[in-house]
A and B are shown apart, each in its own frame.
Chain A
Amino acid sequence: MAQGGASDLAKREQRLAYWLLAPTFIVLLLIAIYPLMSVVYNSFTNAVFASTTPTEFVGFQNYRTLLSVTVKSIPPKRDEAGNPIIDERTGEVAYESAVSVLPREPQRFRQVTQFSLFGNRYVLGATDPDFIRSVWDTVVFTVATVFLELVLGMIVALIVNANFKGRGLMRAIILVPWAVPTAVSSQMWAYMLQPNRTGFFNTVFWYLGLGSGEIPFLSDPTWQLPSMIMIDVWKTTPFMALLLLAGLQLIPSDIYEAANVDGAGPLRQFFQMTLPMLRGTIAVALVFRTLDALRVFDLFQIVLGQARYSMASYTYYQLIQNRQMGYSSASSVVIFLVLSIFAIIYMRSLGVRSDER
Chain B
Amino acid sequence: MSRKFVPLFSLFLVVMLILAACGGGQSAPTPTTAPAEAPAEAPTPTEAAAEAPTAEATGEGEVVHLRFISGGPGAGLDFTMQQVEEWNANHPNIQVEVIAGPTSATDRYGLYLQTFQAQSSDIDVMEIDVIWPGDLAEHLVDLNEYGGAEAVADDFPAIVQNNTVDGRLVGLPFFTDGGLLYYRTDLLEKYGYSGPPTTWAELEEMAQAIQDGERAEGNQDFWGFVWQGKAYEGLTCDALEWIYSSGGGTIVSPDKVITINNQAAAEALDMAYNWIGKITPPGVTGFQEEESRRVWHGGNAAFMRNWPYAYSLSNGEDSAVAGKFDVTALPGKEPGMSAATLGGWQLAVSKYSQHPKEAAEFVMWLASAESQKARAINISLIPTKRSLYEDPEVIAAQPFMAKMLPVFTSAVARPSTVTAPRYNEVSNIFFTNVSDVLTGKQNGTDAVANIELDLQDLLGFEVGAP
Contacts and interface: CB of A to CB of B under 8 A. Distances in A.
Interface of A: 49-52, 97, 99, 104, 107-108, 110, 168-169, 171-173, 175-176, 179-180, 184, 187-188, 191, 194-198, 212-221, 305-307, 320-323
A225 to B, nearest CB: 14
28 contacts: A99-B450, A107-B457, A108-B454, A108-B457, A168-B7, A172-B4, A172-B7, A172-B12, A175-B8, A176-B15, A179-B12, A187-B27, A188-B27, A194-B286, A195-B284, A216-B285, A216-B286, A219-B230, A219-B283, A219-B285, A220-B285, A305-B104, A306-B428, A320-B109, A320-B113, A321-B109, A322-B424, A323-B113
Contact of A97 (B295, B439, B446, B457): B446
B362 to A, nearest CB: 24
A176 B138 contact: no
B283 A216 contact: yes
A221 B439 contact: yes
A187 B7 CA distance: 27
Contacts of A50: 113-114, 116-117, 139
A197 B281 CA distance: 11
Most chain-B Cβ atoms within 10 A of its Cβ — which of A50, A52, A221?
Answer: A50
Contacts of B220: 213
Nearest to A99: B449
A154 B229 CA distance: 41
A133 to B, nearest CB: 11
Given A194-B283, A195-B285, A307 B424 contact: no
Nearest to A306: B231
Nearest to B231: A307
Given A49-B113, A97-B446, A195 B106 contact: no
A194 B281 CA distance: 12
Nearest to A197: B221
A218 B285 CA distance: 9
Given A50-B117, A99-B453, A320-B113, A191 B27 contact: yes
A216 B282 contact: yes
Contact of B19 (A172, A184, A218): A184
A180 B450 contact: no
B283 A214 contact: yes
Interface string B443-459: 00110011001100100
B250 interface: no
B114 A321 contact: no
A249 to B, nearest CB: 14
Contacts of B283: 194-196, 214-216, 219
Given A50-B116, A219-B286, A305-B106, A110 B450 contact: yes
B386 interface: no
Contact of A196 (B104, B106, B139, B281): B281
Interface string B423-463: 01100100010010001010001100110011001000000
Nearest to A320: B110
Interface in B218-247: 220-221, 229-232
A49 B287 contact: no
Q: What are the 5 tightest A-B residue pairs by CB atom distance, in nearest-first order?
A: A195-B283, A219-B285, A172-B8, A320-B110, A50-B117
Given A50-B116, A110-B450, A195 B281 contact: yes
Given A52-B138, A172-B11, A323-B113, A195 B282 contact: yes
A218 B286 contact: yes
B387 interface: no
Nearest to A211: B282
Nearest to A104: B453
Interface string B1-19: 0001001100110011001
A176 B12 contact: yes
A113 to B, nearest CB: 10
B294 interface: yes
Contacts of B12: 172, 176, 179
Contacts of A212: 282
A316 to B, nearest CB: 8
B109 A180 contact: no
B85 interface: no
Nearest to B113: A50
Contacts of A175: 8
B26 interface: yes
A313 to B, nearest CB: 12
B291 interface: yes
Contact of A198 (B11, B19, B138, B294): B294
Contacts of B441: 221
A321 B106 contact: yes
B116 A195 contact: no
Contact of A306 (B114, B232, B291): B232
A99 B445 CA distance: 11
Nearest to A323: B113
Contacts of A176: 11-12, 15
A290 B113 CA distance: 32
A321 B446 contact: no
B26 A191 contact: yes
A218 B139 CA distance: 35
Contacts of B428: 306, 321-322
B105 to A, nearest CB: 11
A195 B435 contact: no
Contacts of B281: 195-196, 214
Contacts of A179: 12
B114 A320 contact: yes
Nearest to A221: B439
A82 B251 CA distance: 36
A88 B453 CA distance: 28
Contacts of B231: 219, 305-307
A227 to B, nearest CB: 11
Contacts of A196: 221, 281, 283, 291, 295
